[in-house]
């Protein structure tokens, strides 16, 4: 899986790639990330990446040409990308399903916007997708690009050592995760649920599934409408609803 990230803050992006799961994936040759300084694609003495907005108003707008030149250069030197993604709060929401879709591609370019905005012709003429990581405004797309690289890389086979942990975790099946515990058996006056100490694998499995469903129902009920539940899960959900009717 190959990523190219175009930014005016290459050191900020490099720092975010230097440790953890993505860094290990890079060391293992499973993920290839190249970071490009947008100023290397400017044409003037001041290496300008922004200009005043047509129509007036506050702030500056990122110019289209440096971003377009950067993508042309990436295409020439690193091959044609499968997607060119502009990170912006106006984009489609980046979700686990979107991460899974991107993890099946071979080459993704990420364009980080800055300032008040990016000339809209970057979206229409250079990018293939526009993604937002959430309903809040960051000061630039750099952190968003790192979020995308992290979430996508860990779905690339081999990057996360234990493939089962990726499959079972929160959101991979559209549900929240079950709670986790380790030693000691009692902490802050709270005991680890007895079933987890019982050694009954089948009961542990059922407890985890049901607890994940209960959490999802209580905290994020809207996720249940799109989750693909199996027969056991539908039955458990019915049990939980009945339990809640008994003691709301
Ligand atoms: N740039 C600024 N805010 C952003 C967001 N929420 N998602 C993606 N890119 C951004």
Does domain 2-153 fall under CATH 3.40.1280.10? My reply is yes
The whole-angstrom separation of Cα 248 and Cα 243 is 8
Q: Output the pTM of the full model.
A: 0.95
Ligand 1 pocket test, pick from 89, 122, 147 with the greatest ligand atom count within 8 Å of Cβ, gives: 89
Q: How far is the CA of 7 from the centre of ligand 1 (A)?
A: 13
Q: Which residue has the tokens 């990122």?
A: 62
Is 81:108 a contact under the CB 8 Å cutoff? yes
pLDDT digits (tens, 9 = 90+) for 181-225: 999 999 999 999 999 999 999 999 999 999 999 999 999 999 999
The whole-angstrom separation of Cα 159 and Cα 152 is 10
Q: Where are the domains of the chain?
A: 2-153, 169-246
pLDDT, position 173: 82
Is 28:87 a contact under the CB 8 Å cutoff? no
Cβ-proximal residues to 150 (8 Å cutoff; 6+ apart), any chain: 20, 21, 22
Q: How far is the CA of 116 from the centre of ligand 1 (A)?
A: 11
Ligand 1 pocket test, pick from 90, 142, 144, 150 with the greatest ligand atom count within 8 Å of Cβ, gives: 144
Low-confidence ranges of the chain (pLDDT < 50): none
Residue nearest to ligand 1 atom 7, measured at CA: 132
Q: DSSP class of residue 30?
A: S
The whole-angstrom separation of Cα 98 and Cα 163 is 19
Closest atom of ligand 1 to CA, residue 136: 6
Residue nearest to ligand 1 atom 2, measured at CA: 138
Is 193:181 a contact under the CB 8 Å cutoff? yes
Number of C-alpha atoms within 13 angstroms, CB side, residue 127?
A: 23
pLDDT, position 168: 67
Ligand 1 pocket test, pick from 88, 94, 131, 142 with the greatest ligand atom count within 8 Å of Cβ, gives: 88
Pairing of strands 83-93, 32-37: unpaired
Architecture in CATH of 169-246: Orthogonal Bundle (1.10)
Ligand 1 site residues, Cβ closer than 6 angstroms: 87-89, 113, 132-134, 136-138, 140-141, 144
């Amino acid at each position: 899986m190959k990523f190219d990230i175009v930014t005016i803050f290459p050191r900020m992006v490099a720092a975010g790639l230097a440790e953890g799961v993505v860094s290990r994936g890079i060391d293992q040759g499973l993920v290839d990330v190249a970071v490009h300084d947008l100023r290397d694609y400017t044409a003037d003495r001041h290496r300008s990446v922004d200009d005043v907005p047509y129509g007036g108003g506050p702030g500056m707008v990122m110019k289209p040409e440096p971003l377009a030149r950067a993508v042309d250069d990436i295409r020439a030197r690193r091959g044609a990308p499968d997607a060119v993604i502009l990170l912006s709060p106006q984009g489609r929401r980046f979700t686990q399903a979107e991460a899974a879709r991107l993890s099946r591609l071979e080459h993704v370019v990420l364009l980080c916007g800055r300032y008040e905005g990016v000339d809209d012709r970057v979206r229409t003429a250079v990018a293939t997708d526009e993604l937002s990581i959430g309903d809040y405004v960051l000061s630039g797309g750099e952190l968003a690009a790192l979020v995308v690289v992290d979430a996508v890389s860990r779905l690339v086979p081999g990057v996360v050592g234990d493939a089962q942990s990726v499959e079972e975790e929160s959101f991979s099946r559209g549900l929240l995760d079950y709670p986790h515990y380790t030693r000691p058996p009692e902490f802050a006056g709270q005991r680890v649920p007895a079933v987890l100490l019982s050694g009954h694998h089948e009961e542990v499995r059922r407890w985890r599934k049901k607890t994940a469903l209960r959490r999802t129902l209580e905290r994020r009920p809207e996720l249940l409408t799109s989750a693909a539940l199996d027969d056991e899960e539908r039955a458990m959900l019915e049990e939980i609803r009945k339990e809640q009717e008994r003691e709301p």
